[in-house]
Amino acid sequence: MQSPTVMEVGEEVLQVLEVCETVEEIKEVIVTTIEEDTNTNAPPVASSGPGTKPSQDDNWGETTTAVTGTSEHSLSQEDIVRITKDLEDSVGLDCRRYFTLTLAVILGLLVFLTPLAFLVLPHILWPERLQSCGTACEGLFISVAFKLLILLLAVWALFFRPPRAGLPRVFVFRALLAVLVLLFVVSYWLFYGVRILDSQDENYQGIVQYAVSLVDALLFIHYLAIVLLELRQLQPCFSVCVMRSTDGETRHYNLGQLSIQRAALAILEHYYCDFSVHNPALLSASKSRAAKHLAGLKVYNVDGEFPAAPAEGPGNNAAAGLAHSQSRAMIAAAARRRDSSHNELYYEEAEHERRVRKRRARLVVAVEEAFTHIKRMQEEEQKKAPGDVMDPREAAQAIFPSMARALQKYLRTTKQQHCHSMESIQQHLAFCITNNMTPKAFLESYLTPGPTLQYSRDHWLARQWTLISEASVTSGLKDGTVFLLKCVDFSLVVTSKKIPYIQMSEEYIDPKSHKFVLRLQSETSV
């Protein structure tokens, strides 16, 4: 990056550059402006040619003019974050989904049409030599028909459900089952092709029984699919602890034997329902405290090289040692310094608590008063006085202004104002009025932060998740597995522990064996 002493007026633009280096336009504008300046302000050095480096010019810093050309293209921090988020959302991996969908459809068609093909082909290819179908054989037709119907319904119930998520790796059990079914059907076709089509067998009952056995085996494979995909993970085996990295909110869930990616999916679904919504405004206080701690001390190295080169690689031991001793010195100095920041924190928190409670009291009173202004009209009254009748939305708009200020102040104090827009508050108010809720019920969603799902989609701050794991994500959960679920603003740290094996023994107690005696035997002298 260019030296930061150049820009005074255009400092915001330079900071933007540091954040997102891919925005090319602004960079070009700055570069051209600098070069123009150095060309116009020629240094008073004898050899002033194109080879002169600008950093050696003494007058260079003072004579640079303001960079006004970039003011039309300036972006703020939030815009850039929004652009990157939109980019992530639009580029989807839809091709993989459609690929698996087509494979599944082809396999399904193959599976369903095979028994029908087995039954129909002899009639087409050698109808005159075929034995007529007797009673038992026709009974088998009914059996094939119903079993195919049951198989169709079962496959539809198990496999044709809307997909919940897109996982990074292929679902191992499903892939195995697909391969198994394919092998199975192929082997049946081979046998059929060789022994029946080639030899043109006349025993039609045998062929029908062969088709019935195929359908039976397919039903058993479907049973295997249910056990592998659905039943195996129902029994809880692991207790996972999920902690949010920013504010430490922790929950514990019980999971069965799952692969890491499926466990991550289950945890994320619980996250949206259980964890309170992530509020970055609540963390600003601790960040400012941390900044104050660091800003207190500066370390200067009087002798030797500036420790500009970071301690990279094993060969840089001297620099690493230097950095270590510096950090030790900083820690020692910080410990010795009489720091009153804990005092500040205590009083600040007490003050904040008091302020929140005061605002909350005002809010509750304002809302209760507002709710007394409207009354639900009965059916008979509706026909009599059609004058000033309002529907819920209008009623909400009518009473909203009297509580708006108190609500706004409360939300600002608890730093929730970005989670609720005016529109959403009015909608919620109309909803509460329609359903005869009390003011307390209306306020409940503002007094406590609810789960993430409750808020609208643009306040979730968590949509694209990355699974970070040391073990392969298709391997199973084990005792002590740790993985991370990262999204843009925070990450969820997940650790798993195995539920222990419980050894229970029995002891029989005869109900008549419950006998009691008095243990007192006192002696009194009279």
Nearer to other proteins, 295 or 517 (CB): 517
Nearer to other proteins, 1 or 520 (CB): 520
To other proteins, the closest distance from the beta carbon of 239 in angstroms equals: 50
> What element of type H or E holds 356?
helix 341-371
Q: Supply φ then ψ for residue 469, to 5 degrees.
A: -150, 145
Nearer to other proteins, 508 or 516 (CB): 516
Nearer to other proteins, 308 or 520 (CB): 520
| Maximum pairwise Cα distance, the chain | 129
To other proteins, the closest distance from the beta carbon of 516 in angstroms equals: 11
Single out the segment in contact with other proteins by CB under 8 A; choices: 170-178, 269-277, 486-494, 512-520.
512-520
The Cβ-side half-sphere exposure at 452, using a 13 Å CA radius, reads: 18
Give the residue ranges of DSSP H helices in 46-168: 60-63, 77-90, 94-125, 135-159
Nearer to other proteins, 506 or 523 (CB): 523
Is 522 a binding residue for other proteins by CB under 8 A? The answer is yes
Residue of the chain from 1, 87, 335, 518 that contacts other proteins (CB under 8 A): 518
* Secondary structure (3-state) at 220: helix
Q: Are 144 and 211 in contact (CB under 8 A)?
A: yes
Q: Binders of other proteins: how many residues, by CB under 8 A?
A: 10
- Cα distance between residue 242 and residue 484, in whole Å: 9
Q: Which of 168, 161, 158, 181 is nearest to 229 (CA)?
A: 158
To other proteins, the closest distance from the beta carbon of 523 in angstroms equals: 5
Single out the segment in contact with other proteins by CB under 8 A; choices: 249-257, 273-281, 453-461, 515-523.
515-523
Residue of the chain from 24, 62, 312, 523 that contacts other proteins (CB under 8 A): 523
> What element of type H or E holds 361?
helix 341-371
β-sheet with 466-469: strand ranges across: 250-255, 238-244, 491-498, 482-486, 466-469
Residue of the chain from 47, 90, 436, 524 that contacts other proteins (CB under 8 A): 524
Nearer to other proteins, 40 or 525 (CB): 525
Single out the segment in contact with other proteins by CB under 8 A; choices: 100-108, 346-354, 369-377, 518-526.
518-526
- Cα distance between residue 446 and residue 314, in whole Å: 54
Nearer to other proteins, 234 or 517 (CB): 517
**How long a stretch of residues is the chain?**
526
To other proteins, the closest distance from the beta carbon of 522 in angstroms equals: 6
Is 309 a binding residue for other proteins by CB under 8 A? The answer is no
Residue of the chain from 46, 91, 142, 526 that contacts other proteins (CB under 8 A): 526
Nearer to other proteins, 384 or 514 (CB): 514
- Cα distance between residue 123 and residue 42, in whole Å: 98
- Cα distance between residue 285 and residue 283, in whole Å: 5
To other proteins, the closest distance from the beta carbon of 515 in angstroms equals: 12
Residue of the chain from 302, 385, 509, 517 that contacts other proteins (CB under 8 A): 517
- Cα distance between residue 164 and residue 488, in whole Å: 21
Is 515 a binding residue for other proteins by CB under 8 A? The answer is no
Single out the segment in contact with other proteins by CB under 8 A; choices: 141-149, 278-286, 423-431, 511-519.
511-519
Nearer to other proteins, 55 or 525 (CB): 525
- Cα distance between residue 439 and residue 428, in whole Å: 12
DSSP class of 160: -
Nearer to other proteins, 161 or 515 (CB): 515
- Cα distance between residue 461 and residue 281, in whole Å: 13
The secondary structure of 244-292 as a DSSP string is: ETTT--EEEEEE-S-BHHHHHHHHHHHHHHHSBPP-GGGGHHHHHHHHH
Site string for other proteins, 460-499 (x = CB under 8 A): ----------------------------------------
Nearer to other proteins, 39 or 525 (CB): 525
The distance from CA 214 to its chain's CA centroid, rounded to whole angstroms, is: 43
Report the DSSP beta bridge partners of residue 496: 240
To other proteins, the closest distance from the beta carbon of 510 in angstroms equals: 22
Nearer to other proteins, 338 or 519 (CB): 519
Q: Are 494 and 478 in contact (CB under 8 A)?
A: no
Q: Which of 165, 137, 11 is nearest to 74 (CA)?
A: 11
To other proteins, the closest distance from the beta carbon of 238 in angstroms equals: 54
Judged by the rule CB under 8 A, the positions of this chain that interact with other proteins are: 517-526
